[in-house]
Homo-oligomer: A and B are copies of this chain.
Amino acid sequence: MEMIDLSRYTGKYDIETVIDGFEKGTVKDGDTVEIEGMIHRIRAMKSFAFFVLRTQRNLVQCVYEPSDSDKPIADFKEEDSVRLTGTIKKDDRSALGFEIHINSIEVLSSPAENMPIVINKKKLDCNVDIKLDYRPLSLRNPHERAALKIVDGIINAFRSFMHGEGFTEFVPPKIVSAGAEGGADMFEVDYFGEKALLNQSPQMYKQMMVGVFKKVYTVAPVFRAEKHSTSRHINEFEGLDFEMGFIDSFEDIMAVEARFMKYMFDYLKTNYSPELKELGVELSEIPDIPQFKFMEIKEIIAEKYNREFRNPNDLEPEEERLIGEYVMETYGSPLVFVTHYPSKKRPFYAMDDPENPKYTLSFDLLLNGAEVTTGGQRIHDYQMQLDKIKSRGMNPEEFSDFLMMHKYGMPPHGGLGIGLERLAMKLLGVDNIRTVTAFPRDIGRINP
């Protein structure tokens, strides 16, 4: 019997520690360091070679000059996993401020074949299908993986913000019974011979949890069996959802989201600047976020951009784009709230505006001209919810689990859902949502 040694695997070979030390002056020119990584690129010269090492967040130039007893340059391969000892050489031309002269190097693992795609140029030069076919490889490209690192940053920011605001995380179910939301655009699951569905939103569950913890959030997959294949839709995405009780107005929800956006922008700027730089993204300061009523902004846009006023129940993608343009130009804000969407276009649990029930106490948040959030106040009164379900020709009996909370008492409440990948896409300004999705699923793809 022995006891586990807690000091194992504590970042001893991480170049990230060295970089940090070099910036702070605790690691200096001439110091010896031990690091590990994969050989991203080999540039062989006559008597030496540059090995560019790929570590978890960086590329580090290393110089290998073998003596007679060493492994010859030709024996190394790109994508070898290595651990090496080397000497720090200050070098102002390098992005890190130094390169490493290798004293000894050990190959821990070596590939069986050469890469089928070129991952060690600045950017991948292949179309999106090839990128996705070779996802485990294409993501090794520093530009490609930077987008996924930002996704990690957004999730981290969301959770730490919500936790800091006193929200409780819960895990919603993904397999749900057939009745729930009617079944349109939902994937069917064979559940021990019975028909079940994959949840398209944690909506009902987070409302239920408001009666339990007052303020709740969840980070969970949602599934949409929508047949369209566009650059901004995937069929399985990650929802960042919260729901909160005892609100005075749906503007309470907007305030929490506005605070989150500021928090997230700051969080990314502080902790993810290497990746933002790699992606060429500069995050602006967020000023106060302007808000417009749905009809108001539609009229402004129609007039300003000389567009015919049409589709009175919805915003067209082109309209959203123009709103983004207008708000950036006028208020310097990449973000804008559009409120009071028409009741017809909002779900049955949305609270209508008592001042004008054709509209709802709801909002979308647009980022750089596209919707990234939908939210609003929900109905908490049993009779009101029952009436609205009936008025839509839906069957209240199918919603008995949902209506249970209303019947036995719920505080006024509301919340929102953010599509993680959509948010990342708009934040980074990439033109395909698959770029910010590790393993995207669409109508033509469930591999790898």
B-contacting residues of A (Cβ < 8 Å)?
Answer: 1-9, 11, 13-14, 16, 36-38, 55-56, 77, 79-81, 83, 108-116, 134-137, 139-140, 145, 148-149, 151-152, 155-156, 159-160, 163, 165-166, 168-177, 187-192, 196, 198, 204-205, 208-209, 211-215, 219-221, 223, 225, 227, 235-236, 238, 244-249, 251-256, 258-259, 262, 288-292, 296, 337, 380-383, 401-402, 404-412, 420, 437-441, 443, 446-448
Contacts and interface: CB of A to CB of B under 8 A. Distances in A.
A111 B409 contact: yes
Contacts of A134: 404
Which residue among A223, A247, A438 has the maximum number of chain B CB atoms within 10 Å of its CB?
Answer: A438
A213 B111 contact: no
Task: Please state the number of chain copies in the assembly.
Answer: 2
Contacts of A254: 4, 8
Contact of A258 (B4, B152, B168): B4
A190 B254 CA distance: 37
Nearest to A81: B411
Contacts of A213: 56, 145, 148-149
A6 to B, nearest CB: 6
30 contacts: A1-B291, A1-B292, A5-B251, A8-B251, A8-B255, A8-B256, A13-B246, A37-B214, A56-B168, A56-B214, A79-B408, A81-B411, A108-B411, A109-B381, A111-B407, A136-B401, A137-B405, A137-B408, A159-B159, A160-B160, A171-B238, A173-B439, A174-B223, A177-B446, A177-B447, A187-B190, A192-B225, A192-B227, A204-B448, A208-B448
B187 A189 contact: yes
Contacts of A80: 409
B337 A409 contact: no
Contacts of A382: 111-113
A136 B211 contact: yes
Contact of A140 (B5, B212, B244): B212
A14 B289 contact: no
Given A80-B409, A177-B447, 19 more contacts: A1-B292, A2-B291, A3-B291, A4-B337, A6-B255, A6-B288, A8-B251, A8-B255, A81-B246, A108-B411, A113-B382, A114-B408, A140-B212, A149-B213, A152-B168, A156-B159, A156-B163, A171-B420, A196-B446
